[in-house]
Amino acid sequence: MATKLKYAANEALKVINGLLFQELKLHAFDLPTRTKARLFATGGRYGRQFGIVLGNTDVVTMHHPAQQTKIVLEKCSLPNIPGVEPVAEQVKGSRFKQNDSKIRPGDQISCFVADKTALLALLRWYAN
């Protein structure tokens, strides 16, 4: 069973929307008001997709309550990156089942990310 690493999804989303957005030429499929999960692509709209699970966001404050960061990627073999822990179960949220998603259950791998360093290493590796 996976250890629940404590890097809040709210903090990870700030890094994705900030430092990594331009660097990895990310495309955001969702408006910032999307509450449970968000979908992105590296290298523009048609690049490799990944998602972040946010939990049940407070729609008044837009605070994402998930106290851990779970990243969902297109099916691949994760490299051995310190602070990245694979999760066996599939993410079945409705966002990942929509027509624009390449990371539907069965076509995905997910992992917990321990901190900003692990998030940066994972998404930089994934974008290349």
Q: Is the pTM of this model over 0.85?
A: yes
pLDDT tens digits for range 97-118? 999 999 999 999 999 999 999 9
17 inside domain: yes
Is the pLDDT confidence value at 1 over 50?
Answer: no
> What share of the chain has pLDDT > 90, as a percent?
67
If one compares 57 and 91, the residue with the highest pLDDT of the two is 91
60 inside domain: yes
H/E run at residue 10: helix 9-17
Domain membership of residue 117 as a residue range? 9-127
Between the CA of residue 8 and those of 66, 97, 127, what are the distances in Å? 6, 24, 22
Domain count across the chain: 1
Q: Indicate the length of the chain as a whole number.
A: 128
Residue 85 · residue 111 · CB < 8 Å: yes
4 inside domain: no
Residue 21 backbone class (left: φ over 0; alpha: ψ -120 to 50; beta: rest): alpha
Residue 51 · residue 109 · CB < 8 Å: no
